[in-house]
Every structure is written in structure tokens, then in C-alpha cells.
Structure 1
């Protein structure tokens, strides 16, 4: 059998090693250190906005701290895009709050402005004004920033921007990760750049950033002895992992271009297969194409393609199962138009790593073409 083709594997550049060697040479192995500060500065400079960055142990930790900064607590309700990974929704439950799931629009596969406003009005009518909105840039495609933020502003509800999959994407030439009252990034092993495990929280207010760092370091007060007046978390990124991140930041733009090239390759390869469609970028949107995804006519065909590729040692994955379908969340309030259900039924993520070779891309497309000729 030929070698495994992964969905989205880590892609090291070699530049990371010098930062790691420096951490070992200077014995900055314990959490924090100069690479943590440097990585935060690298991200801030890349975003090119008035952003305040703290790097953390995961994107999930960033969402959790973001909710705390937005004063989400027990008994509150938080609107969450249903078409997403569970890490967008789980931290709501960490805070004893209730996720309220809102469906997607067809243009971007992200949170639907119409359904969002319906949900807000209905929750207010029930005496439960949502405390925050979690909007996700799914698979690197920006959500409808103008529409979503206009609604949020009209009802005075802060937006937590989940940009875990969208580093390098832009909306109207502004980088994703800068739109939310609080924004988050992920550097998980499958993301466009990785620190093995890690994430970042981005705030507009430097005091919010400082509070996030305080909470992420066990909420230790400034005292000679260890004093804790608040509940804290062990959420800070280590100096070694931050060093990996600094090396990855040097090649981020190249990684975005490589993934966009994968998407273009798939689209051109399948242009004569009318059963397969893609989500295109609306005007003013620029997706990093973290994952290239196709839509098929039915679940049977989606599964037929998936299993055919599996037999060829090629990893694929159905689009995220919506949160309102998840056993743990299925009984919670939901405002559904059917879009995310259909996307899950018919959608498939194809291998999308920036380290894919031409031969590997040809193996993927050949296997899919063979499926349709059978």
C-alpha cells in the first residue's frame, strides 16, 4: 500500500529549530520566556492592527478566557454558530452557561445573519438576552463580518471571534482575528501553522489582555508568597512551543498560498464532475483554505468517496457535525434553517496540508475520478 496521505499534517520549515535550540541553550524550558514575548509580538505585527496578544496552551483555553473576560457566568446564554468544532461550544458549558445554537448561511457556511437576529429577538422575548455571540470563520472562510457585527451592535452584544481556522484569511482586506471584541487563534497540530498545541487570545483592550495573562497563570496575585484571590488556570504557552511558533510565523504566508493552491488544483481537476461543488469566496473575502471541502449530491455519495479514498490510504473527513446534532447538546435551544444539516450530510474535507506533493494531490484526484467512472 502507498504511504498515508493525511488530511492536514504539521509542516515544519526548519526555521523552528534555531528558536528551540536557543531555548535549550539559555535553559528557558520552563513556561514563559523571551520566545513567548517574541511570538506575541510576531502575531501582533502580522495582524497589523491595534491588537493585544497573549499566547496560550490551546485555542479552547482562549475561548474560555474570552468568555470570562466578557463576564459570562452561570445561568447566562451565549449564541454559538452550530456548524463548528465542539471546542467553540464547550467553554460555554465550562462557565455554567447555556449554548444557543444558530445555523449557517449558504454563501460562507458560517453563522446566518437572519437566523442570528431571530435567535436574539426570541431569547430577549423570553427574558434571556444573550451575553455574547461566538462566530466562527469555518475552514478559513470569513463569516459575514459586516452583517454579524451590525446585528451585535444593534443589540449591544459582544462578539467572540473564533478565528482558530482562519489565520491568514481576510475580510475586505482586514485580517481575521481582529474583528471581535475578543478574538482567538489556534496553533493545534493540524492548523495552518502549529506549535504542536497552542492558541492565542487577542483583545482590543490592553487591560483585557493583562487579565487574560493573569488568569492563565493561576491568577497569582503580586506578592512574595503565593496569594490567590481568584480562580486561575494553567493556560499559558511554554517558551519552547512559542519558539516553534516563531519559526512557523516566518513561513505563514507561504503556507496560506500553498493551501490556496491545493484548493485551486482540486477545483480545476473536478471542473467536469458536475456532482461536485465548492464554496467560493464572496467578493471581498479571502480564505486561507485551511481545508479544501467539496459538496456531493448525497450522504451515500459522500461516504462512497470517503471509503474509496480510505482504501487508497487517503484520509478525509465529513464536514463538522453541527453542534445541535451532538448528543450532549441536542436538547438545547437551536435556531435551524437546515443549511448545516445539509452540509454535514453532503460535505467532505479533502487532504489540504501545505506539504502535499504533486504526486499526492494526483493520487487524491485520481481516486475520486475513478469513483465517478465506476
Structure 2
């Protein structure tokens, strides 16, 4: 039986055309005309003044946090339910991450709790230059409340939109919130350049400073001159060409992932105890990019072995059926590296980790593939 993958990259003729052009042009080293064009096209898509193509989304977060004032002697509140790169980027600056819990409806940052965290930390004498908010699984944080709340406190917002390119919140594109934002184009993302990322901002000075640091902090003189430590963070022209081909197809890829999401919802919404994160009742949001469809099994009947969580049981059963499925992000406050970190918790992210599973969502899936996943999920829950 053919294995069904979680989120396999999908490339076609558009990507081949762009990459071949890059190869034939001779611009095979970092930077080049496709990098410039890719930056302009992504900035226009997200609705920001400019963009900087980089080697990874983590690099973009690092530069964004440095610009926002993160460094030794400061603390940066961040979503605890996220991939490690979000917290690692804070550590790169020398700042201390403070882990803040999720809202249970969709796993995104709990806005009330993070504002409470900022106030508490400041009352204790901590310097809080920025908050790092993560748009989880392709759905934006509630920026209608978070942006003004942080502005009132004179705290910068950095948006980790690594998973959210193409999503919209309140008529604005993911990547357009806060002082700056980061995108990821890793291999399993909704748009891939194989590896890579991008820094977005409406402030040209932010981008100029980041551009300088990302090219080893080299001064614009005829020789190699450096007065501070920089980074080798720029994207290659070939990878940018791949990204341009993907960007041409982004709307179609989002539309297909939405069809897959709708198919899951149609067949799983009636299964007792299952809910799709962010897709029910008043919490339903049709503006996400549907990167990964994620379910939480809240009912008591899910089968599992002794010592397993509900999620463990489902992931094990699906993988045994040659279907790639994964747990949602293990909260950072449960990670060995960060378990002693300061945290503001409600228990929501731990409950989601115990009961949440990401299902195959890639553009290349057929309806028959999705129905096979649905049958495997329901078979496990029904004890078949």
C-alpha cells in the first residue's frame, strides 16, 4: 500500500521553468535577480513595504528579535505551543524566553494571558522589549486584540508567520502584523524553496539593518570591512526561483488544502469526541491557509495502550496503516531544554498535546487518500 505523507512538497512546470532560468542565467550563488523579484512578490502578497529573503525562517526570527531589542538582560514572552525554532531564536539573542499557554479552540496564543504575563513581568522589574506570537498550523493569532494591547504597553510585536503564508486576519495578510514578521519556506510548508525563509516589515530601516547583518555585516566599501558580528543568512538565487514558481500556484494550493480540510470536516464532524481545531461554531475561521488539518479527540472512548495518550494511540494506528500523522507541537515548557523556564500556563497546550493529531494535508493527496485517512481514524476510535 502506498504511504500517505503528511505534507509532501508539490512542484510542477512553473517551478521547473523558473529554476531552469536561474541555472542558465549563471546566478547560482547567493542573491541574484530572482531573489529581488521573490522579495517584491512576497511583500506585495502579504501587504507590507518590503521583504528580505533568507536561509531559513529561524534566521528571519533571529534578525527580527535583534531589531526589536531582545538581548541579554531582557525577556521575551512566546507561545509555548510551537516548534523549537521560535524559542531558539530568542535564545540566540541572549534574551530569556517566557512561555505562554495557548487557547484551546485552535492552539494559538492566549492573548489575555500574554498581556497578563507582560504586566506581571514588568511589575517584577523585567525588561520586556517584544512578544513573539506564533500563527499555528496556518491560522493567525487574534491580532485585533493583541496588537493594540501591546501598543498600549509600548512592547514590540514580532509575528512568527512561518506556517501561515496566505492566511488572512481582519482583511490583512499573515506576515503583515507587528514591527516585523517571519515566514518559513521549509520543505513541508505551504510554499517551499526547499529551505529558506523571509523577513517582512513596513519599516525600511528594519529591513536595511537586517540586510546588512545577514550578509556578514559587511560595509559597502570596495574591500571586506566589518565592525560588528554578522551572519551568513541570505537565500540563493536558485531557491528564490523555486519560490517564485510556488508563489504563482499559491492560491490553487491553498484551495486544494481547503478542499481536503472540508472533506475531513464532512466525514469527521459527526464522530463523537472529534473536533477540528479552529473549525467549529463561533471559532470557525475560513481565512486560514489550511496548511495542516488538526484534530483533537476530546471524547473518553479513544483506544490507547497502557501509558499512552489519546494522540499516541491515533498516531501509532495511522502509521501502522502506512499513513504519516504526527502529534501537535509538544509544548516548549514540557521540553527538557525549557522545562525550568518561566511560564504562564492554563493547561490548554498540555491537553492539546495529549489529544491533538495533525493529519495528512498535502496538495498532492487525492480524495481517495483522504477517505483512507478518515477510515483509519474512525476504525481506531471505534475499535475496528
**What is the TM-score normalised by the length of structure 2?**
0.94
Aligned to 2:85: 87
- Please point out which of 183, 186, 191 is paired with 1:185: 183
- Identify the match of residue 248 of structure 2 among 235, 247, 250: 250
Q: CA RMSD in A?
A: 1.3
Asked if structure 1 preserves the Cα contact closer than 8 Å seen for 2:260 and 2:367, the reply is no
Paired with 2:196 and 2:167, the residues of 1 have a C-alpha distance of 19
Shift of 1:19: 1.3
**Greater than 4 Å deviation, 4+ residue runs:** none
User: Contact (CA 8 Å) 1:16, 1:244: kept in 2 or not?
Assistant: yes
Structure 1: state its 5+ residue gaps: none
Q: How much does 1:283 deviate?
A: 6.5
Pairs within 5 Å for 1:94-109 = 94-109=92-107
Pairs within 5 Å for 1:215-294? 215-281=213-279, 282=283, 286-294=287-295
Match of 1:295? 296
Give CA-to-partner distance per residue, 1:187-207, whole Å, 9 cap, x none.
Answer: 000000100000000011111
Q: Is 1:13 matched up with 2:12? A: yes
Distance, in Å, in 2 between the alignment partners of 1:22 and 1:96 is 41
Cα distance in 2 for partners of 1:322, 1:300 equals 15
* Deviation (angstroms), 1:303: 2.1
Q: Distance in 1 between matches of 2:357 and 2:240?
A: 32
TM-score by length of structure 1 reads 0.97
2:278, 2:284 within 8 Å by CA — same for their partners in 1? no
Alignment deviations for residues 21-62 of structure 1 (CA, whole Å, 9 cap, x no partner): 111111100110000001011112212x24210110000000
State yes or no: 1:30 paired with 2:1: no
Q: Partners in 1 of 2:201 and 2:97 — Cα distance?
A: 22
Partner of 1:361: 370
Task: Tell me which of 147, 158, 161 is aligned to 2:159.
Answer: 161
Count of residue pairs the alignment pairs up: 372
- Paired residues of 2:104 and 2:352 also in contact (CA < 8 A): no
Q: Is the 8 A contact 1:77 1:100 kept in 2?
A: yes
* 275-284 or 331-340, which deviates more: 275-284
How far apart in 2 are the matches of 1:280 and 1:73? 34
1:177–1:77 distance in 2 versus 1, CA, 3 Å: same
